[in-house]
């Protein structure tokens, strides 16, 4: 699903509803949505799209960032622990 398709689906939802993620397609477990990140996905791994000064301070480096051929920009939804 692309972001524009998600936006289309969400426009029918109540703004006060809580977002919950299913652990799998069968709906075996559920968790509240905790965080959303813009990431880059390729070679079976996740990478950052850009490196901010704050990320550098936390130890991230250029090798943590990817773009270009074979890399797809994605939005990652993280559940609460």
For residue 43, what pLDDT is reported? 85
Helix (H, G, I), strand (E, B) or coil at 28: coil
Angle at 3 between CA 65 and CA 38, to 5 degrees: 20
69-78 mean pLDDT: 96
Please give the Cα distance from 4 to 33 (Å, whole number). 19
φ, ψ at 6 (rounded to 5°): -65, -45
Strands (E), the chain: 20-22, 30-42, 45-48, 72-79
Residue 66 has pLDDT above 90, yes or no: yes
81 pLDDT tier (thresholds 50, 70, 90)? confident
Name the one residue in this structure whose structure tokens are 């609460």: 80
Task: Tell me the pLDDT tens digit for each residue of 3-57.
Answer: 999 999 999 999 999 999 998 999 999 999 999 999 999 988 999 999 999 999 9
What is the gyration radius of the CA atoms in the chain, in angstroms?
15
């Amino acid at each position: 699903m692309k972001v524009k398709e998600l936006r289309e689906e969400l426009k029918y939802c109540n703004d006060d509803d809580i977002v919950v993620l299913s652990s799998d397609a069968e709906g075996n477990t559920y968790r509240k949505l905790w965080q959303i990140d813009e990431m880059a996905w390729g070679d079976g791994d996740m990478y950052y799209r850009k490196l901010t000064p704050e990320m550098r301070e936390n130890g991230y480096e250029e090798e943590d960032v990817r773009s270009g051929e074979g890399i797809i920009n994605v939005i990652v939804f993280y559940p609460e622990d």
